[in-house]
Amino acid sequence: MGKVILDMAMSLDGFIAGPNDEDMGLHDYFFSPSNETAAVVEQGIKTTGTIIMGRRSYDIGAAQNGFADNPYQVPKFILSHTIPQSVPNGAETFIFVTDGIDSLIQQAKISAGDKDVVIGGGSNTAQQFLKHGYVDEIQIHLVPRLIGKGIRLFDFMDDIHIKLERINVIDAPDVTHLSFSIFK
């Protein structure tokens, strides 16, 4: 059985996007990768069995045709209330799950098999999976930038205390890749 990994880029001040979903350069490290980042991404592609994202993240990606050149050629499970009429280029392997988070995680795990289930966003989806205790590891790509305002990754967490253990730190020139496991 693979692990469930929350995997997101975050500014040092805790944001994953600007106030209106602007990228704010938070994924520059990914699109022009250093050698260190390229190795992290390559490893991720090898171990990722499925990707989970929220409907909002999906819609933002779809509007920007952001799935056309996605290096992760794996099934993608979307937590959603409704199923869209048509899917954009590159989004052929998208599965819309409308009966809730528990159902989605079961389906995603079965689909991933021995590989990992990766939660790629957005923050609301990430928070739901954390609160439900479904996350085994957190990988944060910490971007050296203070954005000041926007959408926070760790918000509305209702005082849950989660103890982490650092697994790995990869020090790239323009981003710090940090991974933690969650004590259960």
Residues lying near other proteins in the complex (CB under 8 A): 12-14, 24, 130, 138, 140, 142, 144-149, 152-154, 157-166, 169, 171, 173-174, 176, 178, 180
Q: Based on CB atoms, which residue is closest to other proteins, 81 or 184?
A: 184
- Name the β-bridge partners of 48: 116
Q: Based on CB atoms, which residue is closest to other proteins, 14 or 84?
A: 14
Q: Based on CB atoms, which residue is closest to other proteins, 117 or 178?
A: 178
- Name the β-bridge partners of 139: 7, 179
Calpha distance 179→3 (Å, rounded) = 13
Q: Based on CB atoms, which residue is closest to other proteins, 83 or 146?
A: 146
Q: How far is the CB of 161 from other proteins (least distance, A)?
A: 6
Calpha distance 112→131 (Å, rounded) = 22
Q: How far is the CB of 70 from other proteins (least distance, A)?
A: 27
Residue 63 parent element (H or E): helix 55-63
Q: How far is the CB of 30 from other proteins (least distance, A)?
A: 16
Q: How far is the CB of 153 from other proteins (least distance, A)?
A: 8
CA atoms within 13 Å, Cβ hemisphere of 5: 24
Q: Which two tokens stand for residue 8?
A: 């997101």
Calpha distance 82→73 (Å, rounded) = 23
The region, left, alpha or beta by phi > 0 then psi within -120 to 50, assigned to residue 148 is left
Q: Based on CB atoms, which residue is closest to other proteins, 48 or 127?
A: 127
Q: How far is the CB of 21 from other proteins (least distance, A)?
A: 16
For 42, other C-beta atoms within 10 Å of its C-beta total: 12
